[in-house]
Structure 1
Amino acid sequence: MRVTVKRRIGMRLFLAIPVDAACSEQLKTRLSAFQTRPEIAAMKWTPSPNWHLTLSFLGEVSEADYQAIRESMSDWFAEGMSYFEADLLTLGGFPNLKTGPFWAAKLDATLMMQSLVREIDDHLRPLGFAKRKHAFRPHITLGKWKGASDDFPTIDEPLEPIQLRVDRLNLYQSVLTPSSPPEYRLLNSLPLETY
């Protein structure tokens, strides 16, 4: 008789900025104008409670590595990192404007944003996480295209003056489900200083 051993998979983790209530409401208002368009009918929209700005996707992480990240987070901004506002620039295809496959609110990669990402990367490296392979392109995923790639809606809509308040860094676990959107469980939250 053959026995199948179920392998335990690690936790799927990422570090992100949550979308604050004011930003979320403004995005919902702007999106409502697009969601009824027939050319966008094949878009699977991301539920607004799942909106976030990913700063570092960690992938499958062991329980021991999760504990190490959680414990080290309290020292990450010991010298202070002030909160700031980030401008949402455009709404459209990501990573490619013409083929997507995601629809996202794209943000300005300001020096403050880049500094925050660099500091996170610097703290993750001693814990065994590899250096980032691609340039950081800040965005909030709002939907995924389920239609033919040739039919992807090539819209590049300005979003100004919408701003995202960057005042905390959250550690999330992404729990994938077969039939519904992923569940993002908050595991730790690190507020940025208010000076």
Structure 2
Amino acid sequence: MRLFAAVLPPDEALRELGRAVDRLHALPGADGLRWTGRPGWHFTLAFMGEVDEALLPDLRERLGRAARRSDGFRLRLRGGGHFGRRTLWVGAAGGLDALRMLAERTDAAARRAGVAMEEHRRYHAHLTLARTRTDTDLRPFVDALAPFEGRPWTVSRLLLVRSNLPGGGRPGERPRYEETGSWSLGGAD
């Protein structure tokens, strides 16, 4: 199964972001982007890819340990940016060091559980909003997102999420995400 560890913003933060993204849809070139669906908005901490089900018990135990070792922290959605000319994202502000540490711990937990992770890279907090298959000037979208600043919230849970890729070949189909594990930060269950 295809898995990743994530932090989900609360509904109110997603509604605020949704209003900002709705305004982006009016910009020239917006129809050439593949917009991510609001139900799937999340901060990926560690992408694991295909994971053998035999590894799940140890992976869940190790992710629970990582969550218990991490205290809750404040975060908010803020501004935007792009990776190259193909991915548009909204950023974060607040407890970025704590978010980075949680990402490091989830990555380490997956590796220790035997998950074959990609090459380790420094974590960059972002929530993907849109992608394109062609080189696109994303600067107008980033400029429009620059003043965006959502209300802060407390990150209190680590999630393990299964990504079910679309199989129908229908235009606009998106992955479906299914929570397969959840742990309170700081062990506050």
Query: What's 1:83 paired with?
Result: 72
- In the TM superposition, 1:6-155 aligns within 5 A as 11-78=1-68, 80-93=69-82, 95-96=83-84, 99=85, 101-108=86-93, 110-129=96-115, 130=117, 132-146=119-133, 148-149=134-135, 151-155=136-140
Q: AA paired with 1:82?
A: D
Tell me which amino acid in the other structure corresponds to 2:74.
E
Return the structure number with greater helix share. 2
Deviations 1:41-67 (A, max 9, x none): 211211101100000000111010123
Q: TM-score, normalising length from structure 2?
A: 0.82
Say how many residue pairs are matched.
177
Q: 1:85: Cα distance to partner?
A: 1.7
List gaps (5 residues or longer) in structure 1.
Answer: 1-10
Q: SS of 1:38's equivalent? A: coil
Aligned mates of 1:161, 1:184 — CA distance in 2: 24
Whose strand fraction is larger, Structure 1's or Structure 2's? 1
Identity %: 24
Instruction: Return the offset for 1:188.
Output: 0.6
- CA–CA distance in structure 1, aligned partners of residues 174 and 105 of structure 2: 30
**Contact preservation (8 Å) 2:17, 2:150:** no
Matches of 1:45 and 1:122, distance apart in 2: 31
Which segments of structure 1 move beyond 4 Å, counting only runs of 4 or more? none
Gaps of 5+ in 2: none
Q: Secondary structure at the match of 1:74?
A: helix
Secondary structure of the residue aligned to 1:71 is helix
How well do the aligned residues superpose, as a CA RMSD in angstroms? Answer: 2.2
